Every structure is written in C-alpha cells, then in structure tokens.
C-alpha cells in the first residue's frame, strides 16, 4: 500500500486505489479477530448498511463545502426533520405498515420518504436564504449562524412534537432476516445498502455524466472561473444545498426506521459521525465520503463487537490515523 | 487602569452596567438572602470567567472550538473525583487542581498541535468530535466518574454551610462557609477575567488579533501562528478548567449535565455572542443576561404560555412553554450574529449610529 500512498508532485487523473482498498483490507483483517464467520458476515453487512445511511446523510454536506466553502453545522437538523416528517405519514397509516404485504408497505413508505425529502429540501432553501446567504464567505459567522439555526430547529421540533421519543416500528415485510446457512442478514440492512448504493451511483452519474455535474465539479475546482464563464454559481449552489438537505431527510427516515424511534436530538451523535466521515473523506469529495462512511461504520461495528466500550472513541482514533496518512483526507479535492 | 490593563470599558453606559452587575454580585449575600439568588450569582461569576476564556479563542483568534466544555468538565471532574476518593480535606482540593489543570492544558496542546495548522472550520469539526468522544468516555468510565449520576462530594470543613464564621448577631446576616465559598468563587472569577484582560492587551494578544484579521499576513510578518494559536488554546483551556473547579466546588457535585454536556457548549456560544465577541467584558454581560434569563425568563414564559393557551391560539402555547426558552435565545443569537456581531458591548461602545461591521470573520 505504501507505494500508492506517496504523493505525486503533480495531480494526474490517475486512479488512486489505496483508499478503496482500505475498507476491504480492514474487513479481511477482521476475520481472524472476530473469530466466527457468521458473526463476521453479520458485522460486515451491518457496517455496510450503516455506512450507506451515513453516506446518504453526509454526501450533501461535503458537496456543499466543496462547492461553496460553506459548512453547515446545522446539517443534523435536516436529519431529525426528515425523520419527524416521515412519522407524519408512517404513524397514521400504521395498519398498512403492519400488513404483511410488501406492496402495501411500500405504498406508505415511499410517499413518507418523498414527503420527508421534499420538506427537508424546502427547509434547506429557507436555511440557505436566511442563515447562510447573509454571512456568505465568512467562516466564523457561518459556524455561528448554522449553530444558532440548529438550536432553533431542535427547540421548534421539541415544541411541535414534544420531548418524548416516538417509536417507529419497521414495516412488516422488512422485518426479520434472510437466512443463508448459519448466517442471518437483516432484510432492512440489505434495503439500506441498496438505497445507499443507488444514491451513490446516482450522484456519481450526475456529477460525471451531466452538464450540471460538470459545472459542479468545475465549481469545486475553481469557483471564479465558472462564474467568469457566465454561469450563475449561486443558483447551482442553492440546488446542491437543497439536494443535500433532502438527502439528509432521506437518511433521517432510514435511520429512524433502523433505530425504530424518532427523537429531536437523534441528530446529535450522527452529526459527529458525519463530520468525521467528511473529514476522513476529504472535504468536497463524494468518493472519499463514501469510503469514509464505510470505514467509520466498520470501525463502529467491529470496534463495538471487539471492544464495546470504545465505539465512539475508536472513530476519533480512525480519524487521527487517516489524517496522519493523508492530512487532507483520503481524497483531497479542494485547494482550501 | 493598571488593573484593567489599559483596556477600560470605553462607554459610559457599559461602565455603569458592569459596575451594577459586579456590585450586585459582590453584595448578593447581604441584599438577596436565599439559596436561589446565591446560586444564580455564583453561576454568573463562574460562567463569566468561562465565557471570557472562550472569548480569548473565539473573539481574539477567530477559531471556533466545540471542546471548551471538555476542559470545563476536566476541571470539575478532577476536583470532584479527588474530593470523593480522598475525603473532604484541603489535600484533596490541591490534588484535584494539580491533576486537573495540567491535564486540560496537555489535552489542549495535543488538539492544538494536531488541528490548528489547518482552517478554522477543520478545527471546529475536530474539537466537536473529540469533545463528544470525551463525553462518552466520561460516562463509560463509571468506576471513576460515577457515569451518568456523576459524583457528589463533601467540601472541607471551612467551606461547609454549617461552619459559622461570623454570627448573625454581629453583622446582620450569617457569614458561613457557604458565603465564604461564594466569595472564593467571586474573587477567583474576577482574577481570571482580569488575567485574561491582561493577556489580550499584551503584545501576544495583539498577535492573536492579527492572526484573526489575516492569518496569512501574520505569518508573513514572521509570527509562528500555530504556536500562538496553540498557546491561546492552552490558556483558554486552563481558565476553563479553573472555572470548572469553581463550579464543582460551588455545586459540591460534578456530572455530565452540569459540566460536560453539549448544551453547555451552546450556552457558552450564546453568551459570548450576545455579550460581544472580542471584548472580554462581553463575557460578564452575556453571562449575566443569559443566566438571569435562564432562571427568571422561564417563569415569565410560563405566564405567557398560559395566557396564549387560554386565548386559544394554536402552537403558541408550545412555543412559549417554559422549557422552550432556549428557542428564543437561539433566535436572539442568530439576530445578534447578523445585526450586531459585536454584541451588547460593541453596540454600547459604538453608540447609536455606530458601524458594527468590524467584527471578526
């Protein structure tokens, strides 16, 4: 791995494989440590599912930073808002959720997710206009404004939905596990993995194969140049911000179903995880964010299995290790 | 002037307000008898020092740290664990101080060297991550920290409420160990704030401001910015840990909710921004406003909420519920970052039509 780790003096469009190999190597290295194959498979699937959900929530944050140098400390609020909005549909139609038919379940789940994404996306519009636009370009004030936004959002959620934890059972057809030999794989984790992978592929396709994606990537590289060519990068940024917020809402519903509960402060721990992911991946990099999310989830799951008490601390250690190796994250995109 | 390091409040109204606050705090045991007033006053003193130390980071160097409660918590826990395990004697107090302060400084040094090399935004994220990890660690190591329950402990004899130093018949009120503890907190906080004023008005403080305004230029002038920022970070951590020590001594308790939780971090942010960043005096104003609001605004909101409920208004009773006071302070926070970024102090200093755009960024 070391010969790939060496930094080339000039950035070339060469594939940098070392970060991709890292989670694979980590997973393989864990086989002897975990011991039994079946628990290793379960842990690996759990890591991938958790990683995908974290990736969905973190992807917007890293793009927004890469594109406009804006870091939203209130990003976690979109997660909780998404989850609460999801309950607005999921709870009244609990009967359809508990019916043992995939079609009936999806008929409730899909509108709930779409509504959650729409509302958090719309909230993203408001936040961008009200909180971020006035302090654009000033890091310190951005952090303060978005933190203030987080406080207000969290308190408003308490005021509307109350401080109690809302239980949110999984749909009947997503409960239980697929049994393969002596290995049990939870159905919902498979779904989470598929959704996360779909989001990743969709983002990659948009970024690499469409004109908008070209502009976004160009904006990440050099904002002024894109503006000089006559594109309204502010509008582009607003679009990215809203998409990121909507994805956070999607992640919120998925996380709430994964944990089977909703709470206004559910985003607090997640925000920390997301920040670690974004830092590990390299601010602005979607690929790095994807790998970072998987790594963080792996460390949390394997670490939680092997050394249960240190799950969150192990993430910090992971971050330190990665930053020692590559001080600007796995894939350094921006020159900032 | 010597005492204030040549940095007076520079506004008549501000001077009067500060004098009123300080005199009221100093006289609390005489004029406002009762446990609640003393608690509020002690908390204002402790938080004024804590927020002033945060101001050294946020207002004077322009770095946002989310790990400030961690240092506060280290101080609190150090004294609590020492007094809990070694019993109520002065040796335990000294042990707590001797262990807590260097621990906080070392941790600040490590975080600073690791993450202050990069942009402010990176530092903010890393401190947030480290602080939350520390919080988990503190609640997991329950054999040492008491977990979620925290640690309650006894103070040395001299500081206990039962110890009557001057009886009531002599000066009209009882000067007991509790009163002595209060004055200990008051004097220590005052000294810390004066020391911070000294720091920010020293050549070192000027370099910090230069880094805040333009880090690149400060570096070009030959200042080792990483050294200066790390040094400031360590100083702030030391003062925060000292404030934590005072907090634990006053409460006779250290636990996650009173000394480590993320909401305290948000409170500190609110106080420093509302009071005024980069002024040190703002810390006193911010702490006074915030803690008075925390303790007395809630009952006011309860009345308003009830009235709104009786008037049959939708949602408003929920928004005005006493538990939602943070919502309104959050809105005030956003408004003050936006409209008067130099806070109350900056506003008072610049007068009515003053420009307030010279804030840190």
Q: Are A62 and A84 in contact (CB under 8 A)?
A: no
CA-based nearest residue to B277, from B1, B63, B67, B21 = B63
Q: Are B211 and B62 in contact (CB under 8 A)?
A: yes
Distance between CA A108 and CA A194 in Å, rounded?
Answer: 19
Q: Is residue A151 part of a domain?
A: yes
Cα nearest neighbour of A131 on chain B: B334
Residue in A145, A151, A313 closest to B266 by CB: A151
Q: How many helices (H) and strands (E) does chain A have?
A: 14, 4
- B319 CA: distance to closest CA in chain A (Å): 6
Q: Is residue A30 part of a domain?
A: no
pLDDT score of B113: 85
Q: Is residue A305 part of a domain?
A: no
Please name every residue paired with A261 in a beta bridge, in sequence order, or none if there are none. Answer: A167
Question: Chain B interface, mutation test: which of A68, A136, A137, A155, most B Cβ atoms within 10 Å?
Answer: A155
Respond yes or no on whether ipTM tops 0.95: no
Q: Is residue A307 part of a domain?
A: no
In this structure, what is the dihedral angle of CA atoms B261, B242, B109, B125, given to the nearest 10 degrees?
Answer: 20
Q: Is residue A16 part of a domain?
A: no
pLDDT score of B356: 42
Residue in A152, A160, A327 closest to B330 by CB: A152
Distance between CA A150 and CA A81 in Å, rounded?
Answer: 11
Q: What total of structural domains would you count in chain A?
A: 1
What token pair was written down for A303? 């670490």
Question: Touching check for A316 and chain B: CB below 8 Å?
Answer: yes
A320 alpha-carbon distance from chain centroid: 20
Q: Which range of residues forms the domain containing residue A136?
A: 45-264
Per-residue pLDDT reduced to its tens digit, A318-335: 888 888 788 788 887 755
Distance between CA A262 and CA A268 in Å, rounded?
Answer: 12
Q: Is residue A282 part of a domain?
A: no
Is A230 buried (19+), middle (13-18) or exposed (0-12) by CB count in 10 A?
Answer: exposed
Q: Specify the DSSP element, H or E, that contains B119.
A: none
Cα nearest neighbour of B212 on chain A: A140
CB-CB neighbours of B66 under 10 Å: 26
Q: Are B104 and B238 in contact (CB under 8 A)?
A: yes
Distance between CA B8 and CA B30 in Å, rounded?
Answer: 28
- CB–CB contact A272 B132 (8 Å): yes
Cα Dmax for chain A: 61
What token pair was written down for A231? 């594109």
Per-residue pLDDT reduced to its tens digit, B71-92: 999 999 999 999 999 989 999 9
- CB–CB contact A151 B121 (8 Å): no
Q: Is residue A292 part of a domain?
A: no
Rg (CA), chain A: 20
Distance between CA B347 and CA B11 in Å, rounded?
Answer: 10
CA-based nearest residue to B272, from B108, B66, B122 = B66
CA-based nearest residue to B223, from B235, B243, B205, B238 = B205
- CB–CB contact B334 A131 (8 Å): yes
pLDDT score of B361: 42
Q: Specify the DSSP element, H or E, that contains A32.
A: helix A18-34
- CB–CB contact B124 A73 (8 Å): yes
- B337 CA: distance to closest CA in chain A (Å): 7
Rg (CA), chain B: 21
Is A39 buried (19+), middle (13-18) or exposed (0-12) by CB count in 10 A?
Answer: middle
pLDDT score of B39: 92
- CB–CB contact A148 B330 (8 Å): yes
Mean pLDDT for back-to-back runs of 10 residues, chain A (336 residues): 52 70 86 84 91 92 81 90 92 83 86 94 92 83 89 89 87 83 85 93 91 86 86 88 94 92 84 89 88 92 82 79 82 64
Question: Chain B interface, mutation test: which of A73, A272, A329, most B Cβ atoms within 10 Å?
Answer: A272
Q: Are A247 and A79 in contact (CB under 8 A)?
A: no
Question: Touching check for A158 and chain B: CB below 8 Å?
Answer: yes
Distance between CA B301 and CA B317 in Å, rounded?
Answer: 9
- CB–CB contact B324 A144 (8 Å): no
pLDDT score of A85: 94
Per-residue pLDDT of chain B (361 residues; tens, 9 = 90+): 678 887 888 888 999 999 999 999 999 988 887 888 999 999 999 999 999 999 999 999 988 899 999 999 999 999 999 999 998 999 999 999 999 999 999 999 999 888 777 666 778 888 888 898 898 888 888 888 888 888 999 988 888 888 888 887 777 778 888 899 999 999 999 999 999 999 999 999 999 999 999 889 999 999 999 899 999 999 999 999 999 999 999 999 999 888 888 889 988 988 998 898 999 999 999 999 999 988 888 778 878 878 877 777 777 777 777 778 888 888 888 888 888 888 888 888 886 444 444 444 4
State the sign of the Cα–Cα–Cα–Cα dihedral B237, B243, B246, B252: negative
B282 alpha-carbon distance from chain centroid: 11
Question: Touching check for B257 and chain A: CB below 8 Å?
Answer: no
Contact residues on chain B for A145, CB-CB shorter than 8 A: 334, 337-338
- CB–CB contact A159 B319 (8 Å): yes
Strands of chain B (E only): list them: 151-152, 164-166, 175-176, 253-254
């Amino acid at each position: 791995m070391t010969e790939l780790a060496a930094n080339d003096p000039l950035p070339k469009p060469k594939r940098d494989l070392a970060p991709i190999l890292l989670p694979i190597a980590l997973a393989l290295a864990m086989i002897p440590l975990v011991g039994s194959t079946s628990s290793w498979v379960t842990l690996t699937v759990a890591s991938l599912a958790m990683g995908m959900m974290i990736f969905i929530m973190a992807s917007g944050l890293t793009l927004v930073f890469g594109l406009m140098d804006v870091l939203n400390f209130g990003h976690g609020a979109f997660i909780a808002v998404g989850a609460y909005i999801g309950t607005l549909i999921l709870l009244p139609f609990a009967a359809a959720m508990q019916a043992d038919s995939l079609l009936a379940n999806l008929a409730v789940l899909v509108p709930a997710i779409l509504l959650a994404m729409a509302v958090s996306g719309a909230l993203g519009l408001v936040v961008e206009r009200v909180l971020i636009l006035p302090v654009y370009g000033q890091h310190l004030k951005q952090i303060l404004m978005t933190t203030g936004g987080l406080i207000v959002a969290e308190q408003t959620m308490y005021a509307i939905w109350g401080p109690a934890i809302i239980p949110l059972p999984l749909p009947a057809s997503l409960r239980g596990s697929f049994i393969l030999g002596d290995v049990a794989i939870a159905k919902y984790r498979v779904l989470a993995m598929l959704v996360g992978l779909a989001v990743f592929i969709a983002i990659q396709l948009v970024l690499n194969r469409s004109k908008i994606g070209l502009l976004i990537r160009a904006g990440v590289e050099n904002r002024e140049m894109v503006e000089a060519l006559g594109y309204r990068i502010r509008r582009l940024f607003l679009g990215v911000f809203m998409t990121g917020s909507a994805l956070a809402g999607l992640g919120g519903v998925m996380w709430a179903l994964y944990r089977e509960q909703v709470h206004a402060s559910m985003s607090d721990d997640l925000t920390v995880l997301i920040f670690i992911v974004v830092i590990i991946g390299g601010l602005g990099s979607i690929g790095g964010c994807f790998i970072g999310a998987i790594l963080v989830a792996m460390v949390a799951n394997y670490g939680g299995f092997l050394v249960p008490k240190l799950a969150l601390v192990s993430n910090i250690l992971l971050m330190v290790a990665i930053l020692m190796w590559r001080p600007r994250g796995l894939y350094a995109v921006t020159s900032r | 002037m010597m005492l204030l390091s040549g940095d007076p409040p520079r506004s008549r109204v501000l001077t009067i307000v500060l004098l009123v606050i300080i005199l009221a705090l100093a006289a609390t045991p005489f004029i406002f008898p009762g446990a609640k007033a003393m608690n509020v006053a002690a908390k204002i003193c402790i938080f004024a020092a804590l927020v002033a130390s945060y101001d050294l980071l946020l207002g004077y160097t322009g770095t946002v740290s989310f790990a400030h409660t961690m240092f506060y918590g280290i101080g609190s826990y150090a004294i609590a664990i020492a007094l809990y395990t070694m019993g109520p004697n002065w040796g335990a107090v000294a042990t707590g101080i001797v262990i807590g302060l260097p621990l906080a400084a070392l941790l600040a040094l490590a975080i600073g060297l690791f993450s202050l090399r990069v942009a402010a935004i990176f530092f903010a994220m890393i401190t947030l991550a480290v602080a939350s990890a520390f919080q988990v660690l503190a609640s997991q190591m329950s054999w040492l920290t008491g977990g979620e329950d925290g640690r309650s402990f006894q103070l040395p004899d001299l500081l206990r409420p039962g110890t009557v130093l001057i009886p009531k018949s002599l000066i009209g009120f009882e000067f007991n160990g509790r009163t002595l503890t209060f004055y200990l907190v008051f004097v220590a906080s005052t000294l810390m704030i004066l020391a911070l004023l000294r720091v920010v008005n020293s050549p070192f403080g000027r370099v910090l401001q230069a880094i805040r305004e333009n880090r690149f230029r400060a570096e070009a002038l030959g200042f080792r910015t990483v050294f200066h920022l790390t040094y400031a970070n360590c100083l702030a951590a030391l003062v925060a840990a000292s404030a934590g020590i005072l907090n634990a001594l006053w409460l006779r308790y250290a636990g996650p909710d009173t000394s480590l939780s993320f909401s305290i971090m948000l409170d500190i942010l609110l106080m420093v921004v509302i009071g005024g960043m980069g002024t040190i005096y703002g810390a006193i104003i911010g702490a006074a406003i915030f803690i008075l609001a925390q303790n007395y605004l809630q009952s006011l909101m309860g009345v308003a909420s009830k009235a709104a409920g009786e008037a049959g208004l939708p949602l408003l009773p929920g928004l005005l519920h006493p538990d939602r006071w943070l919502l309104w302070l959050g809105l005030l926070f956003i408004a003050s970052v936006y409209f008067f970024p130099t806070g109350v102090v900056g506003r008072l200093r610049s007068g009515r039509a003053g420009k307030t755009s010279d804030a840190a960024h």
